[in-house]
Structure 1
Amino acid sequence: MFSGIIQRLAKVEVAEPVGASLRLAITTGYPDLELGESVAVNGVCLTVTSLEIGGRTEFFLSPETLARSTLGTIEVGDAVNLERSVRLETRLSGHLVQGHVDGRATLVSATEEAGAYRLAFDVDAELARYCVAKGSIALNGISLTINSISQADVRFQVGVMIIPHTWTHTNLHALAVGDQVNVEVDVIAKYVERLCLPYLKP
């Protein structure tokens, strides 16, 4: 479990295909990681499979992870957002984030406003029912507040406002229009929907 508060930016050092899977290596900067521990990489919960002296950490990405997330197109040199899993005594500064990506979103606009940045993303319409204005969403693992929602055909658009700290301390600043990010909607909304389904059927 994560909180969506990015702790570090790191660059991909190895992105090596292993059949239909991928071996990923990153120097995370975490000195006390353990084998089997979970780390969110661009919002995707990955398991530490190897540790080297100097801090380089390896992860194994399955075909499902590659198909579901943007990590299927990741390249050496790309900057990724990192977050270690939260402890029970940790302050929950963001929101409950599982690291289980629901889909991808495409950046359609980014404008600066009084030092902050307003970003708009196209998201699959099937995720629209889990998004509400002033609710939470995780984009590339970053806990963000939804400021606006608009619907158009099979897509809908989510708007977020990014403060300067978040802009410079995550990989959002490196995005260009047309780039994709990982999306995880609020897990509480999904559980509420599931529990209510028996009572909504005619």
Structure 2
Amino acid sequence: MFTGIVQGVARIVALTDRPGLRSFRLQFPAGFARDLAIGASVACDGVCLTVTALHGEDQADFDVMLQSLNLTTLGRFQVGDALNVERAAKDGAEIGGHPLSGHVDFTATLQSIRQPENNYVLRFAVPEPWMRYVFAKGYIALNGASLTVADADRRAGWFEVWLIPETLRMTTFGTLQPGQPLNVEIERATQVFVDTVRDALDERLGPLLPALEALLAQQGQSTDALLAPLPRTSR
């Protein structure tokens, strides 16, 4: 498990591609790999990877299987590229973000960047099936960082996050450009809530559900509007 609090930025110093498998060697910030063991888990841009070899206290190797390469951004990286990294949380660790599994659900595309004074606003386009799990004031993980959704528009298929200078300093977000994909892990509690309510609606309404969906569509709404959890306070 991870907390979504990025601990540093690592760089790819070596990369080997084989059929169905890609191997990375990462250069970590000084001391990051101290006491790290072979078999340990490290979140790399939000993807849980297993240490396969260690090289001193600052480098480690990882293998990425084909399924992960197809689902995430890891297949796009080249030597010299940077990734957000976080070591697995220890028992009793403070959860400064929200619990993450390191299992990416989909990739979102960066649409635009706005820079109000002392702030940095990123807007992302989301594939339609996943937008139902994104709510304003809810949590979401982008490239391994736990963030609060500032605003979301389900009909248009986008959401925004606002970043403070410290987040930009500790992550790769300040180097992103529009058009780039990011790894997204939705909050599991939100997914369970939404799917449970959707199943309950389908079970109770049965043949009436299409009529309800048509009525809501006439008003520019959808059944997803009925599923929004109660808003949480901002972090």
Query: Shorter-chain-normalised TM-score: which range?
Result: over 0.9
Tell me, yes or no, if structure 1 residue 51 matches structure 2 residue 54. Answer: yes
Identify if the C-alpha distance between structure 1 residues 193 and 149 changes in structure 2 by more than 3 Å, giving closer, same or farther: closer
Structure 1 SS opposite 2:14: strand
Amino acid across the alignment from 1:164: P
Aligned Cα RMSD in Å? 1.4
Tell me, yes or no, if structure 1 residue 131 matches structure 2 residue 102. Answer: no
Work out the number of aligned pairs and report it: 200
Deviation at 1:92, TM superposition (A): 0.6
Amino acid across the alignment from 2:41: S
Structure 1 SS opposite 2:69: helix
Alignment-derived partner of residue 80 in structure 1 = 83
Partners of 1:40 and 1:111 lie apart in 2 by 28
Deviation at 1:196, TM superposition (A): 4.7
Percent sequence identity over matched residues?
A: 35
Alignment-derived partner of residue 191 in structure 1 = 192
**TM-score, structure 2 normalization:** 0.81
Deviation at 1:198, TM superposition (A): 5.1
Partners of 2:189 and 2:135 lie apart in 1 by 12
Alignment-derived partner of residue 105 in structure 1 = 108
Structure with more of its chain in strand, by fraction: 1
Higher RCO (CA 8 Å, separation ≥ 6 residues): 1
Tell me, yes or no, if structure 1 residue 26 matches structure 2 residue 29. Answer: no
Tell me, yes or no, if structure 1 residue 164 matches structure 2 residue 165. Answer: yes
Alignment-derived partner of residue 176 in structure 1 = 177
Partners of 1:53 and 1:87 lie apart in 2 by 22
Alignment-derived partner of residue 226 in structure 2 = none
Tell me, yes or no, if structure 1 residue 62 matches structure 2 residue 65. Answer: yes
Structure with more of its chain in helix, by fraction: 2
- Structure 1's unaligned 5+ residue stretches are none
Amino acid across the alignment from 1:188: A
Partners of 1:127 and 1:2 lie apart in 2 by 22
**TM-score, structure 1 normalization:** 0.94
